[in-house]
Amino acid sequence: MTDPIRPVVEGVPGAGGGGMAVRLPLESTPPEGGDVQVIASGWRLALREFLANRLAVVGLAVLVFFVVFCFLGPVVYHTNQSLTNPLITDLPPGGSHVLGTDDNGFDELGRIMAGGQTALEIGFFASFIATVIGTLWGAIAGLAGGIVDGILMRIVDILLSIPYLLIVLVLATKYSATVFDESMIIGLFAWLVPARLVRGEVLTLRERDFVSAARVMGSGRSRLVLRHLIPNALSVVIVNVTFQIADAILILAYLGFLGFGLQYPAASWGDMLGSAQQYVSSGYWWLVYPVGGCLVAVVLACNLVGDALRDAFDVRLRKR
């Protein structure tokens, strides 16, 4: 038998002698603990799983398409979206107006682009606010436990039991409805769900040995939360973000439909649907179906991406 135990002194060549001296002998002979196999990282495995899901790729493509369509579209397709023109109201599709015009004489296709911009902006911004607040809130509650956890989570429970669309409506009428304001209003109510999700995740994470190990090293709470708990709860958060975006876009649509949306001249899909509802029976289909279709497509795409991300991150669902 070869001697598996390396003599102690020779085992650490040049113990005090700097990096290079240590490296050379290690590379020439395989180390005692065996070589390290290079395996795809957890993120890469998740990406692979995600890409294997056809629907998810379609969803992602739809989202990318809408981002390009809404933000770059107006650059090539110039329309007037601020001055009403009574001469060209309610024109059917055709000619210079690809999707016709609405009752204010705005070009419908250009209006969908403008509405899409606000929808996506508010969707991303609101979900960002909700996620940041929710993640921190949930992580702190989960780690602190006891009375702090009780208080923080009861606040969440109370807020969840309030019919928040009402509050949003009230707030939306009180404050000037700009993109920023609407995002804040939606975001400030939407953090409750991620807060609960993250707390649940942290509750299981904090019992894990690596968190105990950090404690034993003398780690403070903020380090535990920022370096260990949140990065490990991130997969849950990322999945939730996609659903948050879809929700925010829908809420914006409700608000617009009910007439509490963005202020004129800003466009939103909800406003467009709200003002078009009276024309459905009059045969002005171009004012309803295209914008409705866009709304459904974006929300559906977000949900598809979210579902696929959940499957990709969940090791138990992962096919090897």
Partner 1 sequence: MSAALEVTNLTTDIQLSRSVVHPVGNVDVKIDPGQTLGLVGESGSGKSMLGLSILGLLPNGGHIVEGSIKVEDRELVGMAEPALRRIRGDAVSMIFQDSQSSLNPTKTVGEQVAEPVRLHRGASRKEATDRALEVLELVGMPQPKERLGTYPHQLSGGLRQRVMIAIALACEPRVLIADEPTTALDVTIQAQILALLDDLRDRLGMATLLITHDMGVVAGRTNRINVMYAGRVVETAPTDRLFSAMRHPYTQGLLGAIPRLESDNRRALTSIPGIPPDLTNPPPGCRFAPRCPFVTEKCIEHEPPLSGSDSIHRFACWHPVDGPIKRTPQIASVDSSVPKRSNGDAAHLLEVKDVFREYPITAGVLQRKVNSVKAVSGVTLHVDAGETLGLVGESGCGKTTLGKLIVGIEKPDSGQITLDGREVFKLRGRTLRKARRDVQMMFQDPYASLDPRMRVQASLREPLVIQGIGSRKEQDERVRRMLSEVGLPANAVERYPHEFSGGQRQRIALARALMLEPKVIVADEPVSALDVSIRSQVLNLMKRLQAEFNMASVVISHDLAVVKYLSDRIGVMYLGRLVELGSGDDIYRRAAHPYTDALIKTIPVPDPVVERSKDDAGIRGELPSPINPPSGCRFRTRCPRAQQKCADEVPELRRFGPGHRAACHFPLQTPILGVDADASPDVAVA
Give the footprint of partner 1 on this chain (CB under 8 A). Answer: 1-8, 11-12, 15, 18-19, 22-23, 26-27, 30-39, 41-42, 52, 208-210, 212-220, 223, 227-228, 231-232, 234, 319-320
| Cβ at position 143, least distance to partner 1 in Å | 14
Q: Which of 4, 86 has the CB closer to partner 1?
A: 4
Rounded CA separation 109/99 (Å): 5
Q: Which of 22, 158 has the CB closer to partner 1?
A: 22
The H-assigned helical ranges of 162-191 are: 164-174, 179-190
HSE, side-chain direction, 13 A CA sphere, residue 226: 5
Helix%, strand%, coil% for the chain, nearest 5: 70, 0, 30
The secondary structure of 294-311 as a DSSP string is HHHHHHHHHHHHHHHHHH
| Cβ at position 219, least distance to partner 1 in Å | 5
312: helix, strand or coil: helix
Cβ neighbours, 10 Å, residue 153: 17
| Cβ at position 245, least distance to partner 1 in Å | 24
**What is the phi/psi pair of residue 97, to 5°?**
-105, 100
| Cβ at position 18, least distance to partner 1 in Å | 8
Q: b/e map of 219-255 (b: 16 or more CB within 10 Å)?
A: eeeeebbeebbbebbebbbbbbbbbbbbbbbbbbbbb
| Cβ at position 149, least distance to partner 1 in Å | 14
Structure tokens at 318: 């992962």
Q: Which of 21, 170 has the CB closer to partner 1?
A: 21
Q: Which of 81, 219 has the CB closer to partner 1?
A: 219
Determine the distance from the C-alpha atom of residue 168 to the mean position of all C-alpha atoms in its chain, rounded to a whole number. Answer: 21
| Cβ at position 217, least distance to partner 1 in Å | 4
Q: Which of 145, 259 has the CB closer to partner 1?
A: 145
Q: Which of 117, 135 has the CB closer to partner 1?
A: 135
